[in-house]
Chains A and B, each alone.
Chain A
Amino acid sequence: MNESNPTVTYGALALASLLLLVHAGLSTAFGLKLARPLLIAAVRMFVQLSLLAVVLQWLFATESALATVLTILIMLGFASWETWRRIGRPLAGRRGVLVPGGAIAAAGLATLGYALLTQVSPQPWYAPRYSVPILGMILGSVMNAVALGIDSLTQNAWRERLNIEAQLAQGVPFTAATRRLVQRAMKTALMPTMNLMAATGLVMMPGMMTGQILTGTSPHEAIKYQMMIILLVAGATALAVFLAVVGTQRDLTDDRQRLRLDRLGAERN
């Protein structure tokens, strides 16, 4: 870390906040009615990040295994809940949260474990300074992908129910009758991660890498870290999408290979 790097003062933050006035002004000028939601979102962002800073400061200082596990569980719980909220036509009942949540947890933890044990190797191995931020970055991408994948599959199953049932009625197995829908769902879910990989460095500078560079890390080191994170995110996303989409496909049928749209919840607006 470069000792001469400038710190961000509260005055600097206040100056940055002034840019929100541009946003609010445009909203008012065009009658978007976004000024109030913008203010609420900005306050939420300040409060949430300030709380996060306090929690992380404490967590990194204690290095408690139990506190790290609890933090990770809370993160996974919120990720599952938030993913469920983003799905336009989720599975009904508890499965609506359990299927995406299970996929996110399995892929997130497996990838985090792999990264900690083989690439980062902190002491102790679960060190919250590494495990919590890495998991956070993995979850940010995985949540979005899983929501996109499940949403694509359930919406298309609903829309194309006549086509699926026409195949089932002709003796086509359920997996074959829904194969194209599954492929489409996986492509839809994985596309943002692929685009991210393709555009990184050319179109945009990733936030984590930029943050490291701003705080004095050499670009060479920051980029290596960023590459590792992107690869972890890509791996976790693929695994989570596969688990979530195939899990949802299984929930859309039964032991007699019927199309069970009655297992879907109501469509959200």
Chain B
Amino acid sequence: MSEPLLTTRDLTTAVGGPFELDVFAGQCLTIMGPSGVGKSLLLRALADLDPHGGEVWLQGARQSQTPPALWRRRVLYVPAAAGWWADTVSEHVAEIGKHINDLRALGLPLDCGDWPVTRLSSGEKQRLALLRAVTLTPQVLLLDEPTANLDADSGLAIEAWLAACKNRGTALVWVTHDAVQAERVADVRWGLDAHGLKRI
């Protein structure tokens, strides 16, 4: 068996842990659990966005010894509610003209590059946030309910698009409340509750 891409040991967040995880390249790992149990905090700790205990490695490189900006480009967190710091779509996705196929696959308007972000619906923004993240070619994508609040067809389109990313070698750590979705997309399923992280 190959070496894991992302490994955690004794990882603790503000509300839970220690967590021991191994994530392999091209693998989709889903995490389910009740609200407030710390799923988002676990993803944020993996991305090093919050202070935490324990250690995380990416291909043998320690998180604490890797420059934070570099780490976060490699282990990229996509929150449930994305932030938009610039006005237009093209300011968020570099060379958006080269991503016509992605725009089409995600059901986004092909000419949206010059649009103000505010013109997009909340569902379109959610899909644009995924495209913005994937264009940075992370090794691990941390997805916090990426299809929440989307209609079924859009959700399935995103699943198919993310499956293509996975097939290119990106590891996905996917938080979801949808058990059917988890069964559909996951290679490995974990459940998180007050007692900790357990493989389902």
Knowing A169-B47, A170-B133, A258-B49 touch, does A162 contact B79 (C-beta < 8 A)? yes
A249 to chain B, nearest CB (A): 16
List B contacts of A259 (CB < 8 A): 49
List A contacts of B78 (CB < 8 A): 169
| In the assembled complex, A140 has its CB within 8 A of some CB on chain B | no
What are 14 inter-chain pairs, A to B, with CB distance below 8 A? A160-B83, A160-B85, A163-B85, A165-B49, A166-B79, A166-B85, A167-B85, A169-B72, A169-B77, A170-B73, A171-B76, A171-B136, A258-B48, A258-B49
| In the assembled complex, A267 has its CB within 8 A of some CB on chain B | no
Cα separation A173 to B68 with both chains bound (whole Å): 8
Q: In the complex, which residue of chain A has the Cβ closest to the Cβ of B129?
A: A166
Query: When the two chains form their complex, are residues A173 and B69 in contact, meaning their CB atoms are under 8 A apart?
Result: yes
Interface residues, chain B, with chain A CB atoms under 8 Å away: 47-51, 64, 68-70, 72-73, 76-79, 81-85, 129, 132-133, 136
Cα separation A160 to B86 with both chains bound (whole Å): 12
List B contacts of A161 (CB < 8 A): 83
A256 to chain B, nearest CB (A): 5
Query: When the two chains form their complex, are residues B84 and A163 in contact, meaning their CB atoms are under 8 A apart?
Result: yes
Interface residues, chain A, with chain B CB atoms under 8 Å away: 160-173, 177, 180, 254, 256-259
B130 to chain A, nearest CB (A): 12
Q: In the complex, which residue of chain A has the Cβ closest to the Cβ of B48?
A: A256
Query: When the two chains form their complex, are residues B72 and A168 in contact, meaning their CB atoms are under 8 A apart?
Result: yes
List B contacts of A165 (CB < 8 A): 49, 79, 83
List A contacts of B83 (CB < 8 A): 160-167
Most buried by B among A165, A168, A169, A256: A169
Closest 8 CB pairs of A and B: A166-B83, A171-B73, A162-B83, A163-B83, A163-B85, A257-B68, A171-B69, A169-B77
List A contacts of B72 (CB < 8 A): 168-171
